[in-house]
Amino acid sequence: QVRLVESGGGLVQPGGSLRLSCKASGHISSIDAMGWYRQAPGAQRELVAEMTTDGSTVYGDSVKGRFIIPRDGARNTRLLQMNSVKSEDTGVYYCRARSSLGERYYWGQGIQVTVSS
């Protein structure tokens, strides 16, 4: 029903910046929240940042002040601007959309982000 595709990952040096993009397709009219989660090796998946359709955004504690969801993107796209990255930011980043129909969740396949010098 909803397909999510991430792009923009890769290798970045500590202190650098990276921008991720998630494009949604399918029955996107039902989406009421869309954002980013990540999973480091051996760790649980955790919230990075998520924005609802009214523009409210919540950030994970570890990324506050460094990561931002820009609000200038297309309606079917969720961006993640990553600034001042640290080695601890390394992991697989997943896009997630929440549907208001039955409280269903849709996930992208994930994209690798590696912070290393």
Lowest mean pLDDT among 7-11, 58-62, 71-75: 71-75
Question: Residue 103 pLDDT > 90, yes or no?
Answer: no
Query: What is the chain's mean pLDDT, rounded?
Result: 95
Going by pLDDT thresholds of 50, 70 and 90, the confidence category of residue 75 is confident
Closest CA to 49 of 74, 68, 77, 30: 68
Sign of the torsion angle spanned by Cα atoms 56, 97, 5, 114: positive
Closest CA to 6 of 50, 42, 36: 36
DSSP H/E element including 105: strand 104-107
